[in-house]
Amino acid sequence: MSDFNGMSIERKGEDYAVTRVTREAVIGVTLGRGEYRVPKLDTTILFFDHMLEMLGWYSDLNIDASYEAKTYRLMHVVCEDIGLALGHAARALVVDGITTGIESRGNGFGLMDEARAEAAVSFEGRSNAFLTIDDAARLERVEDMLTIDLAAFFEGFSQGARATVHLRLADGVDPHHAWEAGFRAFGHALRSALLLNPRRAGMTAGVKGTLD
């Protein structure tokens, strides 16, 4: 099925495959449950590939992502568009689970050496991303990219998923550690939100009972 934001989604077994086509690029994302498999990640940004690898590892989800530029390769666009597509796929997993019961909201804590982070996500039709970025995570660059573009990923995810995302990068001396702790925390939060729960059959995260 397709929608007005340029994305199409197709279910393939336990995976949801999302394609986003714009005048700037072609983005492909796959998100799903099932047995672990080695991710296929080619976003053109090495550190971003690594962070998506962490997200899949800590969420217990299989994640693939690719980005092909049609005009300019802009890192902000890469991160935001992949966030949009991945969020769209995550929303599909939530919708798919509501009938039999799914948590739809979760939180998590992430550590890497001196760095720690907290994350929360709620799928209830409210697109918000609230990021508190302190210490080393505020530095301009991390590995081969700008840190502000990593923030754009979470903003894109919240829009694509129509979810509220909170991320707090509380400590860290090394920006690599700080952001990896953040993606680990978000992975734990996403895993919690996508846990199946028969007690919540037919229920959404919010009491209004809709995802709009």
User: Among 125, 106, 119, 126, which residue's Cα sits nearest to residue 197?
Assistant: 106
Q: According to the model, what pLDDT value does residue 149 have?
A: 96
Type of residue found at 165: V
Distance from C-alpha of 94 to C-alpha of 104, rounded to nearest angstrom: 6
Distance from C-alpha of 10 to C-alpha of 31, rounded to nearest angstrom: 11
Encode pLDDT of 124-153 as tens digits: 999 999 999 988 888 899 999 999 999 999
Helical (H) or strand (E) element with 148: helix 147-161
User: Among 68, 10, 70, which residue's Cα sits nearest to residue 2?
Assistant: 10
Distance from C-alpha of 68 to C-alpha of 78, rounded to nearest angstrom: 9
Q: Where are the domains of the chain?
A: 7-200
First to last CA, the chain: 18
Distance from C-alpha of 208 to C-alpha of 185, rounded to nearest angstrom: 28
Is the model more confident about 192 or about 211? 192
Q: According to the model, what pLDDT value does residue 135 have?
A: 84
The CATH architecture to which 7-200 belongs is 2-Layer Sandwich (3.30)
Q: According to the model, what pLDDT value does residue 2 have?
A: 43
What mean pLDDT value characterizes the chain?
A: 94
pLDDT at 1 over 50: no
